[in-house]
């Protein structure tokens, strides 16, 4: 994300979910980040925040299996998504966010 305020919001959520995942708090923070994405006119961020919130609300977690499936490493799916969001200006990161978006859509359908 471009704005310092937006990056701070993403970093705060990342710090929180690294300690302990709280579904209600994560959904509230994603709503704030979504508004910042709207202000930055970034449809990828706006969409992923909305879908991630919907997934968390429905499932109570953000266990997509994406990180395990892609053999990415030692992060949770939420941590990985937030890391991608911090550097959304990189085409590869935006593409992965879109892959996660599609996976969420498939899970929610």
Question: Exposed, middle or buried, 17 (CB in 10 Å: 0-12/13-18/19+)?
Answer: buried
Q: Is the pLDDT of residue 40 over 90?
A: yes
pTM of the model: 0.94
pLDDT classification of 64: cutoffs 50, 70, 90: very high
pLDDT at 70 over 90: no
Categorize the per-residue pLDDT at 89 as very low, low, confident or very high, splitting at 50, 70 and 90: very high
What is the extent of the structural domain holding 96?
Answer: 4-108
Are the CB atoms for 13 and 62 separated by under 8 Å?
Answer: no
Task: Answer yes or no: is pLDDT of 7 > 80.
Answer: yes
The number of distinct structural domains making up the chain is 1
What integer pLDDT is reported at residue 48 of this predicted model? 98
How far is the C-alpha of 57 from the C-alpha of 67, rounded, in Å?
A: 20
Instruction: For residue range 43-53, list pLDDT tens digits in order.
Output: 999 999 999 99
Nearest to 59 by CA among 80, 33, 77: 77
């Amino acid at each position: 994300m471009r704005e310092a305020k937006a990056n701070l919001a993403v970093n705060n959520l990342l710090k929180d979910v690294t300690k302990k995942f709280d579904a209600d708090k994560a959904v509230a923070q994603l709503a704030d980040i979504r508004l910042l994405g709207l202000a930055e006119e970034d449809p990828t961020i706006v969409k992923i925040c909305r879908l991630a919130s919907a997934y968390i609300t429905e499932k109570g977690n953000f266990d997509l299996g994406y990180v395990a499936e892609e053999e990415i490493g030692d992060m949770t799916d939420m941590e990985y998504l937030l890391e991608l969001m911090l550097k959304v200006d990189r085409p590869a990161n935006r593409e992965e966010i879109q892959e996660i978006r599609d996976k969420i859509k498939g899970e929610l359908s």
